[in-house]
Amino acid sequence: MSAYCCHGMESFEIQLLEDRFRIEPLESGLYRIMEGENKVGVIFPEPDGDQVKWATQDELEDGFVQQVGELITEHNM
């Protein structure tokens, strides 16, 4: 059993405009974005000075990535 397993890593829902997404926290600070059964992409926070910028290696619009990232940040507070 890994010390990094699963504790406090439940998926949660966010609402962005009319769309609902399920966020699945993954290991190493990544977050998978799901819409229904479809994977939208994976995003992750990157420190940028005293701010946090959200990034992805998937083909997602930058504005969408930042908005979802802010909702994740609010959820985690």
Tell me: the pLDDT tens digits for 63-74?
Answer: 999 999 999 999
Can you give the pLDDT at residue 8?
A: 57
Structure tokens at 76: 């985690």
Q: Could you report the per-residue pLDDT of 28-69, keeping only the tens digit for each?
A: 899 999 999 999 999 999 988 988 899 999 999 999 999 999
**What per-residue confidence (pLDDT) applies to 58?**
97
> Between these two residues, 33 and 3, which has the higher pLDDT value?
33
Per the confidence metrics, is the pTM higher than 0.85?
no
Using CA atoms, how far apart are residues 68 and 56, in angstroms rounded to an integer?
11
